[in-house]
Amino acid sequence: MATEVKVPALGESVTEASIGELLKNVGDAVAVDEPIVSLETDKVAVEAPSPVAGVITEFKVAVGDTVEVGAVLAVIEEGGAPAAKGEEAGRAAEQREEGKDERAEAPAPAASSDASQTLSPAVRRAVLEHGVDPSTIKGSGRDGRLTKEDVIAAAKSKKDGGTIADAAPAQAETPSAPAATGERREERVKMTRMRQTIAKRLKGAQDNAALLTTFNDVDMSAVMEARAKYKDMFAKKHDIRLGFMGFFAKAACLALKDVPAVNAYIEGDEIVYHDYVDISVAVSAPNGLVVPVIRDAQDKGFARIEKDIADFGKRAKEGTLTMEDMKGGTFTISNGGVFGSLMSTPIINPPQSAVLGLHRIEDRPVVVDGEIVIRPMMYIALSYDHRLIDGREAVTALKIIKEAIEDPTRMLIDL
């Protein structure tokens, strides 16, 4: 019996998605609840699972198509999985016996062809940028699929002198390789739905808000000393690493309590204030930047905040964040320092009115008590909507964050 696979419910107010990737091919056997199509919504990537066990007989969509909730994605013939596998094995055995297995005669081109058919746009771009052979890389994604991280790791290994399954010799043996020297290439790839949404939201923030950024610098000595002193005990007790984000999240809670406008936003001709702090944490995911929310951060301790952040980072890489994870948020923290950024002017995450930007820590000469000393310093930035937040309020909020980081005791005594 044929069964249709349809677009599942995508979350509140989300009615359509784009086809990001076909995870299976026509003729493949699938199990119950096994993902067969990756869907990209405005915020997250979700997978459409098979409702039955069987064999895929037809796909009704192609990569890049826009589909609505309830639309048919594929057709599966129930109960055909075992027979299909057996028949395929039998045919392969006959081909091997008769010497007609074309893949055995030309393994390299076949592998390259198969890889090119299943690579996602992000992976294809990475392959072109780093000049690696995808057929020589072992994928770490679902069902062995290549990820962008796999390509980058392989390119790094190659650069460092490692071997990628003899990728370099294979390229050298290709007759057309010399002709490619100096070749200028272009590739047009349709923007993912998530990237389109990010672009619209960021441009909308610039168009609709009166954006301004104020800066300060922070001496990280006290926080670094606290981490060095307590990190082992913290990890042993809470089973999580003590990071910097927990300190900044709690410092932000102090600042937003004292300066409530920074934790508010404009809705129509009204200002919406919040007596809670839901912190959106900017996390890098394969398809773009996502902002899952640490809810009620004002009531959470360091361990709970660090666990939430670690969980968000893990699920962002796996593509398993949900709409609920990113719903809401009253204030955002973005840490460009993990990528090496020294200073930036972050853009607010609408409808929020402010975002805190963190940057890399570096030793710099500073004057302390009339003497020049070397201290680990970080520039911090607060971008805000000047329609709602005055300069005095923004500067005050950032100063509170600075003082709390330089003297963490303030966070314990709510000062």
Nearest to 41 by CA among 4, 7, 75: 7
pLDDT at 161 over 70: no
Q: What are the pLDDT digits (tens) for 228-250?
A: 999 899 999 999 999 899 999 99
Q: Check: CB of residue 22 under 8 Å from CB of residue 35.
A: no
Residue 288's pLDDT band (cuts 50, 70, 90): low
Q: Which residues carry out catalysis? A: 386, 390
Given a cut of 70, whether residue 224 has pLDDT beyond it is: yes
Q: Measured between alpha carbons, how far is 397 from 242 in angstroms, rounded to an integer?
A: 24
Whole-Å CA distances, 253 to 17, 247, 296, 366, 402: 35, 10, 10, 28, 12
CA gap 190, 124 in Å, rounded: 13
SS3 360: strand
Q: How many CB atoms lie within 10 A of CB 201?
A: 14
Number of H helices, E strands in the chain: 13, 18
Query: Cα(377)–Cα(363) distance, rounded to whole angstroms?
Result: 6
Q: Report whether pLDDT(172) > 70.
A: no
How far from each other are the two terminal CA atoms of the chain, in whole angstroms?
68
Contact call for residues 405 and 220 (beta carbons, < 8 A): yes
Compute how many other C-beta atoms are within 10 angstroms of the C-beta atom of residue 392.
Answer: 9
pTM passes above 0.85: no
The three-state secondary structure class of 85 is helix
Walk me through the domains of the chain, giving residue ranges and CATH numbers: 2-82 (2.40.50.100), 107-190 (no CATH), 193-412 (3.30.559.10)
Q: Is the dihedral of CA 75, 77, 82, 87 positive or negative?
A: negative
